[in-house]
Structure 1
Amino acid sequence: MHVVLLSLFPEALAPYLRSSILGIASEKGIARYDLVDFRDFSRDRHRTVDDRPFGGGPGMVLKPEPILDCVEWLERRHGSFHRIMLTPCGQPFTQERAGDLTEHERLLLLCGRYEGFDERIREELEWDEISIGDYVLAGGELPALVVTEAVVRLLPGVLGDERSAQEESFQTAGLLDHPHYTRPRVFRGREVPAPLLSGDHAAIARWRETQARARTRVRRPDL
């Protein structure tokens, strides 16, 4: 998978893309990341990418020219991308959506800043608009990393054990994950639940499902 992130602050993204799961995916040749500063596509000597909003109001708005020129340059060079705009106005990001995105060979993630995008950026090109929650951040860099990691970790060969991506929250009947335990068997008087020590795989599976359903019912009744 080829992932391109468009950002005014690519240096903020680079270290994380080299780390942990994302770094492993890159080293294995499963994922490739390119960071592009769309300020490089500005059309004046001041490298302007934003301007005051028509109609007045606070803040600045990202101009259409640098972003559209950047996207069109990338697609001439690499072919078409599945374009993602990170915005509070987008559809909520879910585990199911992450799985859907693994079907694309190329992803392009646009990180916003300031008050938002000139609407003609949306009108000129087709975008998959994604939000990672009902709150506002200073920019789209963190959401872009969230989406990238959620997708890349699902690609075959990235995780050490493929079951890790199958037996976790939202994957089993849409439930939250069950509780996990490791050594020691007793910690500050708290013991590991007996079913997990029984060696009875059917009993363990029943216990885990019961616990997952109970946790989901309390913490996420909407699920």
Structure 2
Amino acid sequence: MRFDLITLFPDMCAALREHGVSGRAHQRGLWTLHAWNPRDFTHDAHRTVDDRPFGGGPGMVMMAEPLALAVQAIRADRLQAGVDSPDQVAPVVLLSPAGQVHHQAQARGWAGGTGAILVCGRYEGIDQRFIDHYVDQQVSLGDFVLSGGELAALVLIDSVVRLLPGVLHDAESAEQDSFNPALTGLLDSPHYTRPEVWRDQVVPETLLSGHHARIQAWRRQQSLHLTQAERPDLVEQARAAGGLSRQDEACLDALDKAR
């Protein structure tokens, strides 16, 4: 898998390429990240990538031509590297508040592909003509605005990379992630580690029992309780999809009665 990032700040890629789980996987060649600065595709002495917006208004707008040339160079490079083929090219994805909100199911879908070309905007925005001609998909992290698309792109990449085979030391870790189909899209249960007593607070007895069936049932119950308390919309989604068992519904009913 290969991601190509079009960004004015290529050094930000080091956060994923050199550190943590994603960094180790990058060093092992399980995925790659290439950064492309649109300033390298300009033709003036000042390497200009932005200009004032037509119609007036605050801020500056990123120009279409440097971004378009960057996309063309990336596509040629991916094709030469054998990552893409003439019949199957990487999608161009713009990190934008106008995009579909990224979620775990989408990350799992991306994990089955070969990556993408991610465009990181800056300033007031990007010339709409570039978006209309080159962008295949827009993605958002939520209803808020960042100073640029880099942080959003790195978050998106990390959510995908950790799902690739061999990236996590224990493959079952991803199966227990919040929003995972293995949890019917619910939140993960609470976790505990040593010591057994910390500042007079003890680990739940069930987790110390060694009884796997009881532990599994406890974790499911806690997952239901936590999700109902913090994200009841996820419970409703699981119910609508037929993902809640009779035991799940009984647990939720008892929780409602206890309030």
Q: Give the alignment's TM-score, normalised by structure 1.
A: 0.96
- Aligned to 1:107, which of 100, 110, 116? 116
Tell me how far 1:93 sits from its aligned partner.
0.8
Greater C-alpha radius of gyration: 2
Paired residues of 2:7 and 2:36 also in contact (CA < 8 A): yes
- Structure 1, unmatched stretches of 5+, are none
Cα distance change on mapping 1:196 and 1:15 into 2, 3 Å: closer
Letter in 1 for 2:225: A
Question: What SS class does the counterpart of residue 222 from structure 1 fall into?
Answer: helix
- Aligned to 2:195, which of 153, 165, 184? 184
Q: Does 1:53 align with 2:53?
A: yes
Tell me how far 1:214 sits from its aligned partner.
0.7
Counterparts of 1:153 and 1:21 in 2: how far apart (Å)? 7
Partner of 1:37: 37
Question: What SS class does the counterpart of residue 182 from structure 1 fall into?
Answer: coil
- Aligned to 2:162, which of 134, 153, 156? 153
Q: Does 1:76 align with 2:76?
A: yes
Q: Over aligned residues, Cα RMSD in angstroms?
A: 1.2
Partner of 1:89: 98
Partner of 2:227: 216
Q: What is the aligned length?
A: 223
Which has the larger share of helix?
2
4+ runs deviating over 3 angstroms: none
Letter in 1 for 2:9: F
Partner of 1:26: 26
Tell me how far 1:45 sits from its aligned partner.
2.1
Paired residues of 1:43 and 1:66 also in contact (CA < 8 A): no
Tell me how far 1:26 sits from its aligned partner.
1.1
Partner of 1:198: 209
Paired residues of 1:82 and 1:104 also in contact (CA < 8 A): no
Q: Does 1:132 align with 2:141?
A: yes
Deviations 1:15-34 (A, max 9, x none): 44211112111121100111
More relative contact order in 1 or in 2 (CA 8 Å, sep 6+)?
1
Counterparts of 1:123 and 1:107 in 2: how far apart (Å)? 17
Tell me how far 1:193 sits from its aligned partner.
0.8
Q: Percent identity?
A: 46
Deviations 1:86-143 (A, max 9, x none): 1111110111111111122132111110011111112112422111121111101100
Partner of 2:172: 163
